[in-house]
Amino acid sequence: MPELPEAETIARGLRPMLEGRTILDARVVHEDVLPRGAGAFRAKVRGRTITGVGRRGKNLVLSLDDASVILINLGMTGKLLPLPASASEADERGAAGREVIPTHPAIRFRLDDGGSLVYDDVRRFGRVEALAAEKWRERSRRLGPEPLEEEFGSREMMQRLGASRSPIRNVLLDQQRLAGVGNIYANEALHRAKIHPRRPAESLDQEAFARLHGVLREVLTEAIRAEGTTIRDYRNASGRPGRYSRQLQVYDREGQACLRCGETIERIVFGNRSAFLCPRCQPMDPDRASN
DNA sequence: AGTGTATCCTGCAGGC
DNA sequence: TGCCTGCAGGATACAC
């Protein structure tokens, strides 16, 4: 479900309600989202205070007061749902009726303000881990750079992605090369950069990477501004759907007209995922581009 | 090294 | 209504 803009939106929404809260306990409903098991997890988080709410790539990161973190990869359908202490308190905050009710709770964190935080995940592809500071540093080191960091330039992008013979769409999804990009924004960026998703990454020159680098940052920034993309069930921390769905140019638009040239958007499948493209705007052979 | 396939799991839409 | 197939914002493991 979530890519970088959705994770960023969730982190921003949860931050004011979670920072400073102490986790009284974690009740494990579905152990399969805890790769290290329920017992160890509960022992590590019980009694810890949340000092920060952030994001690394697509992962949510709850920083704890002993420098450890709770690392949450939401998979396809994971949600972090804040539940207020009571309905009356929700009224006071003006949040009545807007909170999302958990349908498939996997973990319930009981908080010291009487509220709770529920990790809810229909398909349970998501993973929740408690990592000591050193383990987290190690893990983070294995992830690629943050595409929105100021220092992340097109040269670095070409160095990290440009040596692969794999289709550029697949390479963009590789979290070890670049953190945070998923199928929606990979497809949107490639359309905006007029690059066919199946082009081997190594066939792209510096000019193409400069273009791709620029539009990827634009797309991610605009999607954050719109609070993410809702295709089916993504909701932000306040229960609202993302508005970027309305700005999608190709993703999930098979058979519809390209908003740039009017050609029909195609869906192709490779690497076990759908790719969406405009065959006129994104020719496989750029020399034959008609625009 | 790259690619296709299968797997984890549930729900939903569409065809018949 | 039911049954079937295919599909889904992710990640990984495997055989070729």
- A197, A173 Cβ separation under 8 angstroms: no
Bridge partner list, A108: A27, A118
> Rounded to whole angstroms, how far apart are CA atoms A1 and A176?
19
Query: What does pLDDT average to over chain A?
Result: 93
Catalytic residue list contains A58: yes
Q: Measured in angstroms, what separates residue A254's CA from nucleotide C4's C1'?
A: 23
Question: Of A265, A142, A181, A177, whose CA–CA distance to A4 is shortest?
Answer: A181
Q: What is the pLDDT averaged over residues A2-14? A: 96
Q: Measured in angstroms, what separates residue A77's CA from nucleotide C7's C1'?
A: 14
The residue assigned the tokens 């029909």 is A264
Catalytic residue list contains A3: yes
Percent over 90 (pLDDT), chain A: 87
* Candidates A48, A58, A127, A177; catalytic one: A58
The residue assigned the tokens 């420098």 is A67
Distance of CA A32 to the CA centre of its chain: 21
Kindly list the protein residues whose beta carbon lies within 7 Å of any strand B atom.
Answer: A 32, 104, 122-125, 163-167, 170, 200, 270-272
pLDDT over threshold 90, residue A68: yes
Q: How far is CA A12 from CA A15, A221, A251, in A?
A: 5, 14, 25
Catalytic residue list contains A2: yes
Q: Could you report the per-residue pLDDT of A120-144, keeping only the tens digit for each?
A: 999 999 999 999 999 999 999 999 9
pLDDT over threshold 60, residue A114: yes
Residue closest to sugar C1' of B11 by CA: A122
Q: Which bases of chain B come closer than 7 Å to a protein CB?
A: 1-11
Q: How far is CA A15 from CA A18, A27, A62, A100, A204, in A?
A: 5, 21, 9, 17, 40
Catalytic residue list contains A279: no
Report pLDDT for A290. 45
> Rounded to whole angstroms, how far apart are CA atoms A187 and A265?
12
Kindly list the protein residues whose beta carbon lies within 7 Å of any strand C atom.
Answer: A 1-3, 6, 57-58, 73, 75-76, 123, 125, 173, 175, 182-184, 228-234, 267, 269, 272-274
pLDDT over threshold 90, residue A195: yes
Question: Of A175, A222, A150, whose CA–CA distance to A5 is shortest?
Answer: A222
Q: Measured in angstroms, what separates residue A169's CA from nucleotide B6's C1'?
A: 21
Lowest mean pLDDT of A17-21, A28-32, A128-132, A267-271, name the range: A267-271
Residues 6+ apart with CB under 8 A from A28: A34, A38, A41, A42, A106, A107
pLDDT over threshold 50, residue A291: no
Report pLDDT for A239. 87
Q: Measured in angstroms, what separates residue A170's CA from nucleotide B2's C1'?
A: 11
Residues 6+ apart with CB under 8 A from A224: A4, A5, A8, A9
